[in-house]
């Protein structure tokens, strides 16, 4: 087993009286696709938000490439190469596609050699390149996000992670809003990330997708990790039993 790239130890997070994540240990190694599974409300999204900096865990530590990142700001964690595609998409609805790929890292140019302004054309061109790599077509990159389909928005979020060369990609239900051909592209992308040594945490309800791409399955139930199984040892039936608590 290679050294883990990401290690989370003893992570807990409450919402009022509710324990959303309860003393969870979780690791990801280089080039590994780890599926995070569990019923609605099991704590999957909350756990990844404790990793990506959206929440500060109340107990436990998160380290990435040997550095302690527990409770760091989301922008710092992104800067270190952890790109997260959230279930509740964190894109700017009123900006165009290019601007969304560069959100928080805008490209600028000098106007009259003086004034620094955002270089919208260059951002759209670069965004177009990233979308091309994904083989995803959006008719006009000048369109505001609010006018795109769920699938197209998801593609923009993935293009953004790809463009910035994520060191760890976290995808929370990336295919939920997508049509079948687009879902296939996302699965192909996950495989190509793994081939380039970039680990992926994949949250998905589509067990078929998960079984097709994951190297390891981590199953959560009521805030706790109840199973951690290599793909080779997992059957769909076993996974379902763990998810519903009948294993
Ligand atoms: N912002 C929040 N405020 C209050 N409760 C929340 C919040 N986010 C999640 N929860 C609760 O925490 C539990 C875990 O939720 P979540 O992590 O979204 O689960 P999953 O992603 O596995 O469906 C659920 O009971 C959910 O209702
Ligand atoms: Mg969720």
Average pLDDT of the chain, as a whole number: 87
Ligand 1 centre and the CA of 246: distance in Å? Answer: 22
Q: What is the pLDDT of residues 81-136, one digit of tens each?
A: 998 887 665 667 777 877 777 777 777 788 777 777 888 888 888 888 877 877 77
> Ligand 2 centre from 112 Cα, in Å?
48
Of these ranges, 58-62, 115-119, 234-238, the one predicted with the greatest mean pLDDT is: 58-62
Give me the DSSP letters along 63-114: EETTEE-TT--HHHHHHTTEEEE-SS----TTSBHHHHHTTTS--EEEETTT
Higher pLDDT, 188 or 15: 15
Q: Which ligand is nearest to the CA of 24?
A: 1
| CATH class of the domain defined by 1-81+166-247 | alpha beta
How high is the pLDDT of residue 32? 95
Would you state the pLDDT for residue 130? 78
Q: What percent of the chain has pLDDT over 70?
A: 94
How many whole angstroms from 40 Cα to the centroid of ligand 2?
Answer: 7
The pLDDT tens digits for 36-49 are 999 999 999 999 99
46 touches ligand 1 (CB under 6 Å) = yes
Nearest 5°: the CA angle 23, 167, 99 is 110
Q: Which residue has the higher pLDDT, 164 or 31?
A: 31
Tell me the C-alpha distance between 62 and 68, whole Å.
Answer: 6
Nearest ligand, CA 44: 1
Q: What is the pTM of this model?
A: 0.84
C-alpha 129/C-alpha 123 separation (Å) is 10
Ligand nearest to the CA of 43: 1
Whether the pLDDT of residue 28 is over 80: the answer is yes
Query: Whose CA is closest to atom 6 on ligand 1?
Result: 15
pLDDT of residue 214: 97
Start-end of CATH 3.40.50.300 domains in the chain: 1-81+166-247
> With the C-alpha atoms ordered 5, 13, 215, 178, is the resulting torsion angle positive or negative?
negative
For residue 182, what pLDDT is reported? 73
How many angstroms does the Cα of residue 151 sit away from the middle of ligand 2?
A: 18
Higher pLDDT, 14 or 209: 14
What lies within 8 Å, CB to CB, of 148 at 6+ separation is: 97, 138, 156
Q: Give me the pLDDT at residue 162, please.
A: 76
Residue of 11, 12, 15, 49 with the most ligand 1 atoms within 8 Å of its CB, for mutation:
15
Q: Are 145 and 153 in contact (CB under 8 A)?
A: yes
Number of separate helices (H) and strands (E) present in the chain: 8, 12
């Amino acid at each position: 087993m290679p050294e883990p790239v990401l290690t989370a130890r003893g992570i807990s997070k409450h919402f009022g009286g509710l324990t959303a994540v309860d003393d969870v240990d979780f690791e990801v190694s280089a080039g590994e696709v780890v599926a995070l599974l569990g019923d609605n409300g099991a704590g999957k999204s909350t756990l990844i938000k404790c990793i990506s900096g959206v929440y500060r865990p109340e107990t436990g530590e998160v380290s990435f490439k040997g550095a302690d990142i527990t409770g760091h700001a989301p922008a710092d964690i992104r800067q270190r190469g952890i790109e997260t595609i959230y279930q509740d998409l964190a894109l700017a609805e009123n900006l165009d596609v290019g601007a969304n790929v560069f959100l928080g890292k805008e490209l600028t140019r000098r106007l009259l050699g003086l004034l620094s302004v955002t270089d919208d054309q260059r951002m759209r061109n670069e965004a177009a390149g990233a979308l091309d790599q994904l083989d995803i077509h959006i008719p006009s990159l000048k369109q505001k996000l609010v006018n795109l389909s769920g699938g197209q928005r998801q593609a923009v979020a993935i293009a953004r992670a790809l463009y910035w060369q994520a060191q760890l990609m976290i995808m929370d239900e990336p295919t939920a809003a997508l049509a079948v051909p687009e879902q296939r592209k996302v699965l192909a992308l996950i495989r190509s990330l793994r081939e380039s040594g970039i680990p992926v945490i994949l949250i998905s309800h589509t067990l078929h997708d998960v079984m097709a791409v994951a190297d390891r399955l981590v199953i959560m139930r009521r805030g706790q990790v109840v199973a951690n199984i290599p793909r080779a040892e997992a059957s769909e039936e076993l996974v379902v039993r763990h998810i519903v608590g009948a294993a």
